[in-house]
Amino acid sequence: MKAKEYLSQAWYLDKRIKTKERQLDWLKSHAVYVSPKLAEVPKAPSIRRSPVEEAVVRITELENEINTSIAQLMRLKSEIAEAIRSVNSMECETLLEMRYLAFLSWDQVAAQLNYSQDYIYHLHRKALALVKMPGA
């Protein structure tokens, strides 16, 4: 895995978490429409879950997935921050942190550092070459 791919993992994981959070919001907003049918009260205990139970179970499962992914993202960001600190150039470290930990766009990075877009790309290439990959 190249440095850029390694550093980009947190961004992709963050996007997956946000997608799951949107799914969770949708489930929660639609769960209020799920109601048990009182006319269909089973005469004997049923193994099958009611629609309400199914909705609650799915919401709980998705919340657990999100919590697990958030914990994974926190560990990954710590690992990436350590790799960024290995660069030993304040300018390069700052650029990498803005891009790969704060998830800023290239325009935002350039504006905050007060550099041209071309210089940002040049500095990024230089910074990537300096990153020491974990386990390498």
The pLDDT score that the predictor gives to residue 37 is 56
* pLDDT tens column, 78-128: 999 999 999 999 999 999 999 999 999 999 999 999 999 999 999 999 999
The pLDDT score that the predictor gives to residue 91 is 96
The pLDDT score that the predictor gives to residue 51 is 74
Tell me the C-alpha distance between 122 and 99, whole Å: 14
Tell me the C-alpha distance between 92 and 123, whole Å: 7
pLDDT of 41 over the 80 cut: no
| Stretch (H or E) spanning 92 | helix 90-100
Q: Where are the domains of the chain?
A: 3-130
**Phi/psi class of residue 46: alpha, beta or left (left: φ > 0; alpha: ψ in -120 to 50)?**
beta
The pLDDT score that the predictor gives to residue 50 is 72
C-alpha closest to that of 62 among 21, 10, 33, 31 = 21
Model pTM? 0.80
Largest interatomic CA distance in the chain: 74
What Cα–Cα distance (Å) separates residue 63 from each residue in 50, 72, 83? 20, 14, 30
* pLDDT tens column, 3-38: 999 999 999 999 999 999 999 999 888 776 655 555
